[in-house]
Chains A and B, each alone.
Chain A
């Protein structure tokens, strides 16, 4: 029917949801990368403890953001039930909630044997005692025996969380910026890129272990590939939006006329770290500072991506 169409953005899910998407993707990918490194590259207690610790904290922070904004907090019990995935198989929040919960469970369980032999945890009053409980000791022995099974359970859930953060936006059909298969891909690539940056930052500023050079080099190379992939996806989005439906064109106008998106995200979040890491991979840097700077830029860029995505989704209301 002939109608006037009004183009409008939404104010249901704003910056706090961007924080949820960001910390969810970053936390899950960090956990997955550290466990894969520990399983196949080098058994690395400190990296696992940092990865698992940061992952669980980030995932909790993101989940808290969503929880605080629920209209009925008590009713959240319905989505904590794993059967929610079977009852509502098309609802990505149902899947995402389970992925996040189980990711945290497997993350803590995988790190348990390392935590038991770490003085920091042994010396904590309550934690130190809990680590000596018979149940915890047996669980820890079991984890050591089935380390790779637990590790892979965590990795699968981690990838699930990263993909979910894009799928949840893809399921909103009225907004061209979101309802396309590029979003889960973009958010997954970005989640793993920010995780690489986060781990590089940890390894260069806190862990400082000289024998980890090969891990840092590998992370830099992987991050370079991921940033390149992200640039290609953003390039595709540029044309998809510019020549797309009216909703897409309005989103294009919002994004590509905004200096925060252009300079903040694409410039400093992608292009600058790309060249900093490219030089590091090809010729190397005399100091660690450029890679640390690149990592910080990627981490800030990762948030900006999700922030602008939430604000630039345009609905076409028929009136």
Chain B
């Protein structure tokens, strides 16, 4: 079996936002809406006085093993594939936003009728979306099926984002997760996320 996961090394993320741009173009997201990114990079300052540093914190859907967004979806639009990727079927989604309410990671974004209309103008004849839905990161499953990496991983200049198979013991991602150096966000909620982070604060002192 394959179980996809992502490890993000906060030590090497430089906050260039290339991942956001790559994701937006690959997945034709509504770039005109500043709140509708499938992935985004939080830019925060940590510390006081002279001891302050910037932390870039990339965020995306955590492709949980126990995804609350899927549990609450009344139409079955949100499903989890055998390879662990949580996807949304835009034809089934009625946009009730229960998934957005259930997600502890703020990873769901609204795509409206207006966005679909604008998308046709912005992306032209290649535009794939036909209906509104509550969108989310799909780990670029259409690329992964072809043996490629997700667009954000492919474009990451600092190799901060790493993508791999947790069920392959030789995969560096699986090894980082198994060693405990990469940790998930808010595991206490019980969502069992598959996006892991390598802490930067530990090394910066």
Contact = CB atoms under 8 A, between A and B. Distances in A.
A66 interface: yes
Contact of A71 (B71, B74, B93, B103): B93
Contacts of B190: 173
B57 to A, nearest CB: 5
A33 to B, nearest CB: 28
Interface in A1-36: 1-4, 10, 12-13
Contacts of A72: 93-95, 113, 131-133
Given A71-B112, A88-B75, A78 B102 contact: no
A97 B73 CA distance: 13
A93 B98 contact: yes
Chain A interface size range = 35 or more
Interface string A168-194: 100111100000000000000000000
A275 interface: no
A3 B185 contact: yes
Interface in B147-181: none
Interface stretch (A47-55, A291-299, A311-319): A311-319
B59 interface: yes
Given A75-B131, A88-B73, A168 B98 contact: yes
B111 interface: yes
Contacts, number: 125
Prevailing SS type, chain A contact patch: loop
Contacts of A78: 74-77, 92, 94
A1 B95 contact: no
Contact of B186 (A2, A93, A168, A316): A316
A79 B186 contact: no
B44 A319 contact: yes
B95 A71 contact: yes
Contacts of A84: 74-76
Contacts of B132: 71-72
Contact of B74 (A79, A172, A317): A79
Interface of B: 42, 44, 46, 57, 59, 68, 71-77, 91-98, 100-106, 110-113, 131-134, 183-186, 189-191, 197, 199, 201-202
8 contacts: A1-B185, A2-B201, A12-B97, A72-B113, A78-B76, A174-B104, A318-B105, A318-B186
Interface of A: 1-4, 10, 12-13, 66, 69-76, 78-79, 84, 87-88, 90-94, 97, 168, 171-174, 315-319
